[in-house]
């Protein structure tokens, strides 16, 4: 199965936005915008409208970026879980009960964590001997 081009416009938007906003040039554009805005302060007498421009702009960008970042993280997390599930399935003596572990309730997950903490403690004791 080879990677395919995302069909959803939202997926394409979030992937391209994440790629674009993670580049150094994007940071430079954002920083330059703030410098230009600050430099125009005296021209606009540091008015309320002048301040409102940057406040509104940064608020809107932040608001939208929250959703774009969350979408990207959700997709990446799901893909990683599928890959881990495949690794667990493919390893001969791996516990297949660990597949879809992320779907368990917190209490059930804590029980499994406790089992693995106990295994780690035993392994450290054996190593010290």
Residue 2: pLDDT band (50, 70, 90) is low
- For residue 84, how many other CB atoms are within 10 A of its CB? 14
For 54-112, what is each residue's pLDDT tens digit? 999 999 999 999 999 999 999 999 999 899 888 988 888 888 888 888 888 999 999 99
Q: Phi and psi dihedrals of 90, rounded to 5?
A: -80, -25
Q: Is the pTM of this model over 0.85?
A: no
For 13-23, what is each residue's pLDDT tens digit? 888 988 899 89
Q: Phi and psi dihedrals of 103, rounded to 5?
A: -90, -10
User: Residue 88: CB partners within 8 Å, gap ≥ 6?
Assistant: 94, 95, 96, 98, 99
- Residue 37 reports pLDDT greater than 90: yes
50 and 73 share one domain: yes
In a domain, 1, yes or no: no
72 and 40 share one domain: yes
In a domain, 16, yes or no: yes
42 and 78 share one domain: yes
Cα(97)–Cα(91) distance, integer angstroms = 13
């Amino acid at each position: 199965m080879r990677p395919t081009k995302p069909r959803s416009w939202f997926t394409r938007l979030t992937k391209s936005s994440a790629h674009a906003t993670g580049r150094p040039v994007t940071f430079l554009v954002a920083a330059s915008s703030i410098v230009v805005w600050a430099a125009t302060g005296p021209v606009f007498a540091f008015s309320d409208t002048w301040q409102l421009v940057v406040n509104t702009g940064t608020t809107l960008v932040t608001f939208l970026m929250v959703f774009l970042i969350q979408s990207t993280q959700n997709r990446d997390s799901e893909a990683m879980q599928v890959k881990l599930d495949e690794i667990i399935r493919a390893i001969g003596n791996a516990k297949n009960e660990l597949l879809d572990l992320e779907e368990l309730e917190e209490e059930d997950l804590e029980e499994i964590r406790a089992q693995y903490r106990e295994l780690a403690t035993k392994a450290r004791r054996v190593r010290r001997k």
